[in-house]
Amino acid sequence: MSQQLSLGQVAPDFEADTTQGRIRFSNWGKDSWVVFFSHPKDFTPVCTTELGEAAKLKPEFDKRGVKVIGLSVDPLDRHDAWAEDIRETQGAALNFPMIADPDRKVSELYGMIHPEADPTITVRTVYVIDPARKVRLTLTYPPSTGRNFHEVLRVIDSLQLTDKHKVATPVNWQKGDKAIIVPSLSDEDAKARFPQGWKAERPYLRWVDVPQEG
């Protein structure tokens, strides 16, 4: 069984055929955040809805500097035919590449095959990869459960905010909500970083408003 990637690991490079031509992954995603997600197989109902939703959300991904790429173990000609079904049923045409992985090389490289679930198809894996090609989020859904792409966007908002400022985001955080100053930042250093001040419920729980772009 191939090993799923871990947080902080550099995303492995590969070349593959996609619905938008052959790519080298590191060049295609260079200097961008990437959402890389796999589908059990083409012409399946849940996947069809997911791909339509990801296509509709492209303006939101673009705003955040994120590129989206999908993968299925089916060949390219099936992807092309499936794309037409997605356009007709979901009201959105594919506007990002879909990797064809019939030999399962990329799936195995990224730990997307879980033999105890089904040895022949990929599970619903999501990776968020940062511009330094580090894995920042991993999600694995069972084949029967569709993903929540608004949650993926929420996590990207959090990652981009916390990378820029010495903060963490609390439970159910949404863009624009208060953040928490990280415990490793002393009050003295926090004064310089957050001149607007903060509210301390406990010495380790310091709530702060952080300017957010977009």
Q: Is 79 a catalytic residue?
A: no
Question: For the chain, first and last CA: distance in Å?
Answer: 41
Between the CA of residue 55 and those of 96, 133, 180, 193, 203, what are the distances in Å? 7, 23, 33, 38, 44
Q: What does each C-alpha distance from 82 to 92, 97, 157, 209 come to in angstroms? A: 13, 13, 31, 45
Q: Which of 47, 71, 112, 128 is catalytic?
A: 47
Cα separation, 143 vs 120, in Å, equals 12
Per the listing, tokens 């990280």 go with 182
User: If you count DSSP H runs as helices and E runs as strands, how many of each does the chain have, helices first?
Assistant: 7, 11
Run of H or E residues at 137: strand 135-141
**Distance between CA atoms of 12 and 100, rounded to whole angstroms?**
17
Catalytic residues: 47
